[in-house]
Amino acid sequence: MKGMQTRLVHGGDPHPRIGGAVVPPIFQSATFEQKAGNDYHDGEYIRLSNTPGHVSLHEKLSLVCGTEAALVTASGMAAITATLLAHLGEGDGLLAENRLYGGTESFISGDLQRWGVKVHRFDGTDPDSLEEPPPGTKVLYCEAISNPLCRIPDFQRITEWAKSHGIITVIDATFATPILFRPVEHGFDIEVHSATKGLNGHGDIAAGLVAGNSERVDTVRRCLNLLGGHLDAHACFLLYRGLRTLGLRVARQCENAHGLAQWLSAQPQVKQVHHPTLEQHPDYSLCQKYMGGLGGGVFSFEIDGSVDEAQRICTSTRLMANAPSLGGVETLITRPASSSHAGVEKEIRVAQGVTDELIRVACGVEDLDDLIEDLNQVLGESHG
């Protein structure tokens, strides 16, 4: 299978079809008949993520990501924490990008350090700042598109530097999805996703993904087996189904995000719009280089007004729901300061550019004209 959309539709399908079913069934069973083998991690059991439903899903995801192996988890944070815990121990060093999702930031700045992992920072948008790694550095962690300012690192330079120092590279590619960016093609060892978002695309499950070479993924799997963060059978079915339309959804979401970002850039009530398809965005050239000029379905903007005004905008839209998350068929609007970054100290998030007045929009697949009208009616009230 060469075409991405063909892989999304047919990858992982069992042959022959089970009972002739065109859609693979839900394997709603926690346990299965034992097979030969003495390794605990090879027994067929739902917590070990190796039921028939898991196996088909893993095959589809590895084909889509272009990796040797894939592993689904109970949430994006389960994917992130299991990956880091599987590769880091007391005394090891983690080199983390200085702008990360709030949940990830809370974990690495709190629990990881409390457990003896030394956390150091780097600026992914300034690879020249990467010099000699701190002693004991074992893992480098970054994001493909940062939340919510949509910054894009120079991936090739980061992975080349890391490999020259024997450092494992991990990237959260949730915002990009495999449609826009496939990390393995640019030298990353492991990619993680919140599959709750674009991969599933319908806002009805929580799930995560770890993908990479077989050895790395198996290391994470063994850790996950003991942590218990497996994906349940019905969620496996829904994620498998959602993946089939990923390419179609991402194309429309990117189109809507670019159109809305352009329109907002011309509105007098708006101070700044952050989306990498806009020429004024600092990472416009990197978006062209790595993502074919498509910057994803999420953008943010700052209004010329107070935090109360920003909150009023988020709660007054008619089509857009004031809710966190992204990647679904419906458009969502929220203030990152009160959602994704609520757990980050104000001084830190403001230094990252996440102000109280910043608004984030995660585009769905609605008609662009209707989304523009929805924002226009609330912005009009600001100066009406």
Any idea which residues carry the catalytic annotation?
47, 101, 172, 197
Looking from the CA of 6 toward its CB, the CA atoms found within 13 Å total 3
CA–CA separation, 53 and 28 (whole Å): 9
Is residue 37 exposed (0-12), middle (13-18) or buried (19+ Cβ within 10 Å)?
A: exposed
H or E element in which residue 359 lies = strand 358-362
CA–CA separation, 159 and 145 (whole Å): 16
CA–CA separation, 152 and 138 (whole Å): 23
CA distances (Å), 212 to each of 34, 47, 190, 191, 234, in order?
28, 21, 5, 6, 25
**3-class state of residue 66 by DSSP:** coil
CA–CA separation, 108 and 119 (whole Å): 7
CA–CA separation, 229 and 75 (whole Å): 8
Looking from the CA of 135 toward its CB, the CA atoms found within 13 Å total 1
